[in-house]
């Protein structure tokens, strides 16, 4: 029996949380247990759920593994992550998704839910065996060709229709390929000045608009990955107003950083640490994304944690890999962008980082309210500290954080997965 003492559940008054057999058994005052976790001043959130994580295994174990990636997840307060399908081999068969799922079980730092590829080999030509992945031990419900867009309208329609059979969802990486050939940075003032090939907002928005219409037409669920533009927000808001079954995520970095980082930053101009897909956009986009997350137009925060080895980032901009790590800093960035600005309270944070992503991913045991009977998936978070981001202190195998040089608020003190601490005192257990 573990008791967490004086935790502020969703930022409320201090309470004790008693945990037995992996479940929350009681919430009250003056509770006793064999093991005590002092949580004075700490906020208790339901364990965070990430809909969008790149664990890189199999294939790029030099960048990340299931083991190291889930450690990073636990350190960031996550109790479940969705492992993206763009591995090598691609997670497009029951065999590969089960392997990833099993590796997650062995690692034990958090639940690992593999995302299945929509098309074989992410090639955008033939549907992968979606049903076989859904029926596998991994029980895949989220399908995505993330990194590549399912740009063929017929193929996208078929995928949306097909996953209805097992209550799946297609998570679209919205990027019109022809409009983004060779694209490097958000098309705008900064890309024009830097002479980097522009990545227009419309390339994202056109696909989102099309997919919303397709999802409505076939009556299926669509999830939009990493929404990055104000225009995308408008389209999703419109689709939701129609009652269509569309959900969307935003990454922490799109809530905080802009394309101006490529021009001026603590780490110098043209530093590809800021190169990411979709690209960092403008301040207007950041403002719109924050508002959309606050009003629920965007359902959740997803990290798009994308580890890359040093040599893939210490290059000229055009040659660098796209992506940034984000598991260990996600909650801090959300506090900075959403809580400190008054846009979300801690209940809102719990909703956008745990409840809704669990619901979109159809995870039964995650994202549940912190009340007796719920699985004890709990994140204890100290919002009062502010610390400079130190890439070398991170547990991810990669170091490509865009926040070096920034001071961010908050620190995950403990993470519990079904009552078992995976992180205590800010350290891995």
**What residues have CB less than 8 Å from 319, skipping those under 6 apart?**
272
For residue 344 the two structure tokens come to: 């979300």
Residue 40 in contact with another protein, rule: CB under 8 A: no
For residue 77 the two structure tokens come to: 């307060």
- Residue 317 Cβ vs another protein, minimum distance, rounded to whole Å: 5
- Residue 190 Cβ vs another protein, minimum distance, rounded to whole Å: 8
| 93 in Cβ contact with 100 (< 8 Å) | no
- Residues for the chain: how many in total? 429
Active-site annotation holds for 312: no
Is the peptide bond prior to 249 cis by the omega test (within 30 degrees of 0)? no
Give the integer Cα–Cα distance in Å for 71 and 200: 36
- Of residues 132, 198, 207, 137, the one with CA closest to residue 172: 207
- Residue 230 Cβ vs another protein, minimum distance, rounded to whole Å: 16
Neighbours of 13 (CB within 10 A): 8
Taking CB under 8 A as the criterion, which residues in 192-221 touch another protein? 192-198, 200
Inter-CA distances, 395 with 222, 288, 332, 416, 427, Å? 33, 32, 16, 18, 10
Of residues 304, 351, 390, 425, which has the active-site annotation?
304
Strands 222-224 and 35-38: unpaired
- Residue 324 Cβ vs another protein, minimum distance, rounded to whole Å: 18
Residue 357 in contact with another protein, rule: CB under 8 A: no
Residue 419 in contact with another protein, rule: CB under 8 A: no
Give the integer Cα–Cα distance in Å for 18 and 179: 54
Which strands sit side by side in the sheet containing 142-143, from one edge to the other? 142-143, 169-172, 222-224, 246-250, 300-301
Residue 279 in contact with another protein, rule: CB under 8 A: no
Q: Which is nearer to another protein, 121 or 309 (CB)?
A: 309
Residue 188 in contact with another protein, rule: CB under 8 A: yes
- Residue 197 Cβ vs another protein, minimum distance, rounded to whole Å: 8
Residue 266 in contact with another protein, rule: CB under 8 A: no
- Of residues 290, 286, 345, 362, the one with CA closest to residue 51: 362
Of the candidate residues 106, 123, 167, 189, the single one contacting another protein (CB under 8 A): 189
Give the integer Cα–Cα distance in Å for 34 and 56: 39
Of the candidate residues 12, 89, 266, 269, the single one contacting another protein (CB under 8 A): 269
Q: Which residues pair with 176 in a beta bridge?
A: none
Q: Which is nearer to another protein, 165 or 318 (CB)?
A: 318
Residue 318 in contact with another protein, rule: CB under 8 A: yes
Q: 44 phi and psi, to 5 degrees?
A: -100, 125
Taking CB under 8 A as the criterion, which residues in 99-158 touch another protein? none
Residue 314 in contact with another protein, rule: CB under 8 A: yes
**How many positions of this chain bind another protein (CB under 8 A)?**
24
Residue 268 in contact with another protein, rule: CB under 8 A: yes
Of the candidate residues 243, 316, 342, 392, the single one contacting another protein (CB under 8 A): 316
x/- letters, 148..187, toward another protein (CB under 8 A): ------------------------------------x--x
Q: Which is nearer to another protein, 115 or 262 (CB)?
A: 262
Of the candidate residues 135, 311, 371, 390, the single one contacting another protein (CB under 8 A): 311
Catalogue the active-site residues.
304
Please give the residue ranges that form the binding site for another protein (CB under 8 A).
Answer: 184, 187-189, 191-198, 200, 268-271, 311, 314-319
């Amino acid at each position: 029996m573990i008791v967490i003492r004086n935790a502020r559940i969703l930022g409320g008054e201090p309470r004790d949380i008693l945990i037995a057999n992996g479940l929350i058994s009681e919430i009250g005052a003056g509770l006793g247990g064999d093991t005590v976790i002092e949580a004075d001043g700490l906020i208790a959130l339901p364990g965070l759920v990430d809909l969008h994580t790149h664990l890189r295994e199999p294939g790029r174990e030099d960048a990340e593994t299931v083991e190291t990636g889930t450690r990073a997840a636990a350190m960031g307060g996550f109790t479940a992550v969705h492992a993206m399908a763009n591995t090598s081999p691609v997670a497009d068969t029951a065999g590969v998704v089960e392997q990833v799922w099993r590796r997650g079980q062995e690692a034990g730092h958090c639940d690992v839910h593999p995302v299945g590829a929509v098309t074989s080999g992410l090639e955008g030509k033939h549907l992968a065996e979606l049903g076989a992945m859904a029926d596998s031990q991994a029980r895949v419900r989220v399908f995505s060709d993330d990194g590549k867009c399912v740009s063929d309208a017929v193929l996208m329609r078929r995928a949306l229709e097909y996953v209805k059979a097992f209550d799946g969802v297609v998570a679209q990486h919205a990027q019109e390929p022809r409009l983004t050939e060779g694209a490097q940075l958000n098309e705008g003032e900064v890309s024009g000045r830097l002479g980097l090939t522009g990545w227009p907002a419309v390339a994202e928005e056109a696909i989102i608009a099309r997919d919303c219409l397709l999802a409505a037409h076939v009556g299926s669920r669509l999830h939009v990955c990493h929404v990055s533009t104000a225009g995308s927000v408008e389209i999703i808001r419109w689709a939701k107003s129609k009652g269509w079954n569309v959900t969307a995520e935003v990454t922490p970095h799109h809530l905080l950083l802009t394309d101006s980082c490529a021009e001026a930053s603590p780490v110098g101009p043209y530093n590809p640490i800021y190169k990411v897909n979709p690209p960092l956009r403008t301040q207007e986009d950041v403002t719109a994304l924050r508002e959309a997350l606050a009003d629920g137009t965007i359902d959740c925060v997803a990290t798009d944690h994308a580890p890359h080895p040093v040599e893939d980032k210490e290059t000229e901009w055009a040659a660098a890999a796209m992506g940034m790590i984000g598991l260990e800093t996600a909650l801090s960035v959300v506090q900075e962008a959403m809580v400190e600005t008054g846009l979300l309270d801690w209940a809102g944070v719990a909703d956008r980082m745990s409840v809704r992503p669990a619901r979109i991913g159809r995870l039964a045991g995650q994202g549940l309210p912190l009340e007796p009977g719920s699985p004890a998936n709990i994140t204890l978070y100290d919002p009062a500290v502010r610390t400079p981001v130190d890439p070398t202190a991170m547990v991810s195998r990669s170091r490509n954080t865009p926040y070096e040089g920034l001071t961010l608020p908050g620190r995950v003190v403990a993470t519990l997965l079904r009552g078992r601490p995976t992180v205590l005192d800010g350290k891995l257990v």
